[in-house]
Structures are given as structure tokens and as C-alpha cells.
Chain A
């Protein structure tokens, strides 16, 4: 992971050019996060997944569990953090300082704050989250001054289209077991605007 350690953010807040190898590696981790999102999809959860990476090793993973737990705060990031900090795990709170998060969708405001409070090093995500996003879309929890925890670097656009496709597949699906199933017969899965080159799972 020496490449990722080379990230440095200059004064204007932009990231230095990263080399191709670093980018490839990030895309590989994002593929792992997408696998977690797929697991969520199969379990009828909103398909968002994530992996935490420290020293070039995946040290945590999670996916949405809001439906099965009936708890609206069980997002992928919090599920993974809980597992990582569970007793018996080798991972300690201090380790977050040298850990990066790869998550398929921009962390929501709640998770963005949680990531500050555990002290994450940086966050890479797939697509933006226009409804709840806490790193750029709705609020800038990741970088605003004076909030609990530490600000962190965040950057979207890694496997964006695959993350979007996964969400669209989920939202186009009819949920026959819902109390009031909504007819979605007219909904069509749109894919023509997406560029899925790496979907070779």
C-alpha cells in the first residue's frame, strides 16, 4: 500500500496525481465493496457495500442491514465498524488513522459523521448520494470545521456506474411483500447512460 501512502493533499485541497497502479488497486477494492453491495441486493436490502483497507489488506467489510434489523441506522459503514471494533478482533480504534474506506455510495450524513468520530484516514466512494450524502451532496460533514472527530479526505467516482446500476436494479424491483406493494410495471431498468466496463464478476 505504499502507493496510497503517497497521497498528499495540497493547500487548495486537491489531490496529487495518483499513478495508474494506485488507481487500479482502488478499483479492485471497490470491486470488493460491490460484492458486498450485491450481497445486500440478494438479501433485499438497499445495495450498498463497503470494505475497510489497512496496509493493503481488507480489515473490515459490511453491507446494509436496515431491513432485517428494522433499524434505519444499520448502514454498511456502521455494520463494518461494529464488527471491526467487536471484542476479540485484532483491530483497534487507533488503527482507523491508517485505514481507508471503500464504499459503493457516498456515505450519508450519519455515516460521514461516524467516520469522523472513529478517525478514518480517507474515504473513496462510487456514486454520489443526492438524498443523504454527507461528503459533498447534501452536507460537507467530512470537511466542515468544528464538528466532532477529525476531517478526512473523500473522493467519489470509483466504479460509479456499477454502483448506480446496482441501486437502479434494486429500485426497479417490485416488492410484493410490502404492506402496500407499489406497481412498478412501467419501470424499466435504464442502463444506456452507464458505462459498465468492469462488470466481469
Chain B
């Protein structure tokens, strides 16, 4: 062939736009300063050779946290790339008289239950699980750790367990009826590989919950079973005299509750310590209210 092979070529990929831009920016090395690190920085520069001889080291104070206000952002962005996300303004809680009465009623009952339980030598909280749709309490429990000599039988765990028993009863009863004629042993596996409808944050104004499927509201008065959503504690309200611990808060996430109302906060509680009710990483969130008793019993979100 006429073409003479003269040797190997070195192939350099042409830089893409982004890489070019990066090259144009001056390299900046940053690190936190401490006595030990300063000597390491000098060592590092010494190792870089001649092109670093004229390198300047300077110590600058920069914010280590993101700005919380617009003013901080304007000031800090001069020093350091920072992102500013204004706090989400939560809508003020609007409660109609009925709902307010339902919440107040349950909060006073848990207070009383707690006082009674305390007088019997227990230390934990008292809890009610209620239905926002029916505006009625479904189950209640006090802390059972002392009675049952079991450190995990907190009131929340006991209530979740009671709701589960109601659901099981409901299923059992249903199976004697007509709908469940082709019930079989696989029935246990009926459950939720398909995610249940996300228990959306209930609209405080009291529109019906998506998760609830009560067809006729007439006969629910005498049957607590009808109040539940059919999927764990989906969309239900939890009233607690104390802020639930981490275990209990996560159990409430697993149970898909809609709202939590608690009276006494706790530094080690799941809401105060970890905001378990609103973590994006978790597959379910719920609204939490810390409730303070006033003469008029106003709720403060």
C-alpha cells in the first residue's frame, strides 16, 4: 500500500466544554486549619515542586453551615459558595369546632390516664389512637413496662398492637360473610407487596381521608372496627401525654399514622432528637403537634 506506517500516535481526547471551564478556574485547595494540619499543608506544597513555589496560603474564616436568613446568605456568599433555601412556611392550622373538641377531649383523657398511671407507680406515657374521620377514640393504653416487666411495652406499642388485633378480628369476621368465600390458606399472604396508598397528610380542615374507606357513616358508632383504615394504622391520629421515644416514633412511621399530638416534649424523643415524623429518607411522614394546655386549650403546631 502507498501509505507508510510511521509509528504510534498518542491520542488525546478533546476536552468537553465542562472540562475546559474547569481548567480556566484557578485551582483552589481548601482544608480546615489546625496546628497539625498547617505543617501538613507546608509539606504538601513542598512536594508539589517549583510551580507551587509562589503559592499563597491564607487563612479565611468561612461559614460551616448553610445560611438560615437572606441577610446571612448575602453576606456569606461573598466568601464561599453557599445555597440558601428559605424555610418552608407551614400553613396555620385551621380547626373547626368539632375537630378542636375531639382533639382537646383526647388530650385531656391522656393527661388523666397518665396522672392515674403515675399514681400507680408507672413512669411512661398514656396514649389514645383515634379516627380523624369519626372523631372518636379507638383504643387507649398506658405504659405497660412496669406491669408486664418488659422495657418495650410502651403505650404507643401497646396501642399499635390493639389496632392490629382489631384488624385481625375484622378479617376473621369478614371471612364468615359472603365476600370471603374463596378464602384459602394463602390468605396470610394477602398483604402488602403493593404499597398502600400513601397516607397523605390529612387536611386539617377535615376533608375525608383517602386512606379511609367507610361506606356508610350510620352504623359506625357502635363498631370501633369500622374506624380503622384496613392497612395498619393508616391515617389515624395518635394522642400521647409524652413525646414518644425513637422506637415508638418509628413504629408510628411503620404503622402509617396521619397525625401525632403530644403534650410533654422530650429531648431524647423521636421527634425532638431526629424529626422522625418528617425525614425525607423514610417512606412515610406524618404531622406532629406539640400541644400546650392553656386556659382555652389552644393548639400550637
Cβ-defined contact, A117 with B168, below 8 A = no
Cβ-defined contact, B194 with A178, below 8 A = yes
Question: What is the distance, in angstroms, from B231's C-beta to the closest C-beta of chain A?
Answer: 9
Q: Known: A110-B254, A138-B281, A148-B268. Contact between A178 and B191, CB under 8 A? A: yes
CB neighbours of A194 from chain B (8 A): none
CB neighbours of B209 from chain A (8 A): none
Cβ-defined contact, B245 with A113, below 8 A = yes
CB neighbours of B247 from chain A (8 A): 110-111, 113-114, 117, 148
Cβ-defined contact, A113 with B250, below 8 A = yes
Q: Known: A113-B250, A180-B194, A182-B193. Contact between A132 and B164, CB under 8 A? A: no
Q: Known: A81-B152, A118-B152, A147-B273. Contact between A44 and B245, CB under 8 A? A: no
CB neighbours of A72 from chain B (8 A): 160, 232-233, 251, 254-256
Cβ-defined contact, A173 with B255, below 8 A = no
Within 8 A of A (CB), among B69-111: none
Q: Known: A44-B189, A148-B246. Contact between A175 and B194, CB under 8 A? A: yes
Q: Which residue in chain B gives the minimum CB-CB distance to A173?
A: B193
The complex places the Cα of A181 from the Cα of B248 at a distance, in Å, of: 31
CB neighbours of B17 from chain A (8 A): none
Q: Which residue in chain A gives the minimum CB-CB distance to B246?
A: A113
Cβ-defined contact, B164 with A71, below 8 A = yes
Question: What is the distance, in angstroms, from A78's C-beta to the closest C-beta of chain B?
Answer: 7
Query: Would you call A199 an interface residue if the criterion is a C-beta within 8 Å of the partner chain's C-beta atoms?
Result: no
CB neighbours of B267 from chain A (8 A): 146
Q: What per-residue 1/0 map shows which CB atoms of B146-183 lie under 8 Å from chain A?
A: 00011110000100110110011001000000000000
Q: Which residue in chain B gives the minimum CB-CB distance to A147?
A: B268
The complex places the Cα of A69 from the Cα of B167 at a distance, in Å, of: 9
The complex places the Cα of A5 from the Cα of B256 at a distance, in Å, of: 40
Within 8 A of B (CB), among A124-151: 131-132, 134, 138-139, 141, 144, 146-148
CB neighbours of B198 from chain A (8 A): none
Q: Known: A72-B256, A110-B254. Contact between A132 and B194, CB under 8 A? A: no
Question: What is the distance, in angstroms, from B276's C-beta to the closest C-beta of chain A?
Answer: 7
Query: Would you call A68 an interface residue if the criterion is a C-beta within 8 Å of the partner chain's C-beta atoms?
Result: yes
Cβ-defined contact, A109 with B276, below 8 A = yes
Q: How large is the interface on A (under 10, 10 to 19, 20 to 34, 35 or more residues)?
A: 35 or more
Partner pick for B190 among A71, A138, A146, A177, CB 8 A cutoff: A177
Question: What is the distance, in angstroms, from A173's C-beta to the closest C-beta of chain B?
Answer: 7
Partner pick for A78 among B152, B164, B167, CB 8 A cutoff: B152
The complex places the Cα of A179 from the Cα of B274 at a distance, in Å, of: 34
Query: Would you call A67 an interface residue if the criterion is a C-beta within 8 Å of the partner chain's C-beta atoms?
Result: yes
Query: Would you call A73 an interface residue if the criterion is a C-beta within 8 Å of the partner chain's C-beta atoms?
Result: yes
Cβ-defined contact, A175 with B193, below 8 A = yes
Query: Would you call B282 an interface residue if the criterion is a C-beta within 8 Å of the partner chain's C-beta atoms?
Result: yes
Interface centre among B149, B193, B194, B255 (most CB of A within 10 A): B193
Within 8 A of B (CB), among A33-72: 43-44, 66-72
Q: Known: A44-B188, A71-B232. Contact between A118 and B273, CB under 8 A? A: no
Cβ-defined contact, A70 with B246, below 8 A = no
- 29 contacts across the A-B interface (CB closer than 8 A): A44-B189, A44-B191, A66-B254, A67-B190, A67-B191, A67-B192, A70-B167, A70-B232, A71-B161, A71-B163, A71-B255, A72-B160, A74-B164, A82-B150, A82-B152, A85-B149, A93-B151, A108-B254, A109-B246, A109-B253, A110-B246, A110-B253, A138-B281, A147-B268, A175-B194, A177-B190, A178-B194, A179-B190, A181-B193
Residues of B within 8 A of A (CB): 149-152, 157, 160-161, 163-164, 167-168, 171, 186-194, 232-233, 245-248, 250-251, 253-256, 267-268, 270, 273-274, 276, 279, 281-283
| Closest CB pairs A-B (n = 9) | A44-B189, A71-B164, A110-B250, A72-B254, A175-B193, A113-B247, A113-B246, A67-B191, A109-B250
